[in-house]
Structure 1
């Protein structure tokens, strides 16, 4: 019996954005409708490590669609031939410059004074690749970012380097991201500070950074962009060891989101929110509300227009696979392990165990779940337990491996799956193992509800 696997792009809600300079250096004329994220990838045992520039898009800045099947869109060819910590800057003319740490892997002792640089008109192609030397000190140039300093008529490149015995945020000024001025200390709180990220609100400049002595995120502020003018004002924010702060303004409200990337375990993003950045207080965002791209690490997020969103999806495409997040355990995803279907805490290895092609139902209606890394096998129920099994071509297998998607039983914005041949039973987890069971209680409904994403 032949099987056709259909790949479909997820329709992204295009939200009309406000016209605003959300960050220094953002072109002011654009009306934004979504976001682009840049990142590199790692997984717990590094099987998913790729040190090229990856891109994802989002309509709400919370749930992300990886592009190019979560493969890189461009990879460095000089220096270490790898990147970490990419940053996407929209320049004053509306085009983009991409900066990144020149480091492939995790050799933190590498003293690299250079950063990778690309130019792009639309993030669909990348030109002018070069490495730019920022200093001649016996130290690194980590996590470069950039912003427009109108008082100087130049861009500032900020990055982390050891100066005075500990990491500080350094700055070089440039007009073209090719020739740069002499390095100078931009911010030094008196202890190791890395991963500087600038965000402007109501004319006040907020510099978010990682306290590298204890793995917390803090913020400093200044009414100017002058080196040495920033003063720390916030309390610490963290979820375990947290780094790589990013602040993203909602396009539809006054909410701002603070993203942080944990480094133990590998690359789990957490988000906090506030409507008053100046207060320094952030409230955790429910993990049900956001989903990071698979294996993503140390990201950058910038607003984009509807045309740019459409162009990126057209150029690079959405994944041909999905992941399913558990509603009541949103840190867990549906995966197979030893042929048993489970929901396990992200991240895990093999990371491919959580990737599914949601294909037309083998029984002729509904859907079936085909494993990406074992493509001959599908999720099916057997004695009401759900297992990964090879398609034997039988009508019984087809029926057992087919489910009807319905509005989520615990949340209509999510999805539940009713068994094709036992329509009084739904796909659910119990003790973190998947089954098909009748659903009657609130807990049952939560166990049977999933977010289909990436």
Structure 2
């Protein structure tokens, strides 16, 4: 009888553990959250706190909290890089991040920042966890659930004394961790691993420091030193790192994001694939995706509709918009020396591209564009050229600064802007300068593209 009672107790405990350790179904995820830190070319946009953005399509992102941090470390270097969000087996989240404030990559650090969160609307239990006693860095954490161990693996970039490798520590609570061990050391230096588990296969994407390319490896067990690289090298732009693997919530297909490394270049590039297990990644046109403003190396996780709504309600949407060019999708409308133009993002002052799209000064059915960083000045046409001028409240100014938003002349899902007081003319770029010109649906394809913009954040 005692043995039977003990068996029943053990069975009940096992059932409870299995109930806790069921990962929420990916079908419940209908949106995405992006965690990141920020930098800009001359670092006016640098902020080493935890930032969040949301997306419903996984490609175009809306910063939350006016692109200000939602949590900031209070120990260690007092700054973070490379934040990673993991949904744990109980459905709640843990956030890990590199303990590094700024760009002094020469310093050694044996710790990671950690927060707990039920739904990412608040962050509790802040702590730092000690991972090793090596004289090296602890960069770019990723984490995954290893069902065979009944533990989470925390994988990070470090140096084992001879080369750059990935280390791993195992944990059940992200407080106490096992001794560190080498997780992936393929015979050349590596950086920035990202791990996802799909079915029974573990996928590890990483940067090969010898070639500067991104590669994918896989394992049937997820155990240390069990991965085999199976993809060709990938790169867009001049340099790339920090691969991010994201499964499409629709249930088919994957995206791979890569950080351009330098804040003076395009911040992110992206690829898509219908089969993560194959070796076929297609580079996405930048028209398709828009990273969060000034975002750098982070992570992306699926969230439910309720979690998406909760994040928007808690942190708020931006009070500004940006205008992305249709045919030069790496360029955004901005003012420079009070002249309207489109320039390649990122640039500084990055605020030059931020607009308050307000009811039209001449007709509230239209829109006007007020500068965020020079309030009281609006985009207006003068001799058909677009300038940023102070509102003198004359009828002429109000008319020049008012536009009617219409379906995009080149893409109805985007937008075009017709002049209020010269109604056959539309806002467009020409030689990267903004102006208004006569346009219609019968205009050339190039002219229509020049006059088409994505209103984004």
CA distance in 2, matches of 1:229, 1:325: 44
**Is 1:447 the counterpart of 2:450 in the alignment?**
yes
Number of residue equivalences: 431
* Alignment-derived partner of residue 11 in structure 2: none
Map 1:34-433; keep pairs closer than 5 Å.
34-239=31-236, 240-264=238-262, 265-266=264-265, 268-365=267-364, 366-433=366-433
* 1:253 positional shift: 4.9
* 1:201 positional shift: 3.0
Kept in 2: contact 1:214–1:241 (CA 8 A): no
Computed over aligned residues only, the root mean square deviation of the Cα atoms, in angstroms, reads 1.2
Q: Secondary structure at the match of 1:278?
A: coil
Bigger drift between 342-351 and 263-272 goes to 263-272
Kept in 1: contact 2:321–2:355 (CA 8 A): yes
* 1:278 positional shift: 1.7
Kept in 1: contact 2:325–2:450 (CA 8 A): yes
CA distance in 2, matches of 1:357, 1:25: 45
Q: Secondary structure at the match of 1:315?
A: helix
* 1:28 positional shift: 3.2
CA distance in 2, matches of 1:222, 1:180: 23
Q: Secondary structure at the match of 1:287?
A: coil
* Alignment-derived partner of residue 18 in structure 2: none
Kept in 1: contact 2:339–2:387 (CA 8 A): yes
Q: Secondary structure at the match of 1:172?
A: strand
CA distance in 2, matches of 1:444, 1:235: 39
* Alignment-derived partner of residue 9 in structure 2: none
* 1:252 positional shift: 2.1
Bigger drift between 435-444 and 316-325 goes to 435-444
Kept in 2: contact 1:324–1:450 (CA 8 A): yes
* 1:30 positional shift: 6.3
> Could you tell me the TM-score, scaled by structure 2's length?
0.93
Q: Deviations over 1:116-149 (max 9, x none)?
A: 0000001001000000010000001000111110
* 1:214 positional shift: 3.0
CA distance in 2, matches of 1:225, 1:201: 11
CA distance in 1, matches of 2:210, 2:377: 47
- Larger Rg: 1 or 2? 2
* 1:327 positional shift: 0.1
Kept in 1: contact 2:27–2:250 (CA 8 A): no
Q: Secondary structure at the match of 1:289?
A: coil
* 1:353 positional shift: 0.3
Kept in 2: contact 1:267–1:295 (CA 8 A): no
- Which of structures 1 and 2 has the larger relative contact order (alpha carbons within 8 angstroms, sep 6+)? 1
Kept in 2: contact 1:80–1:103 (CA 8 A): yes
Where does structure 1 lack aligned partners over 5 or more consecutive residues? 1-23
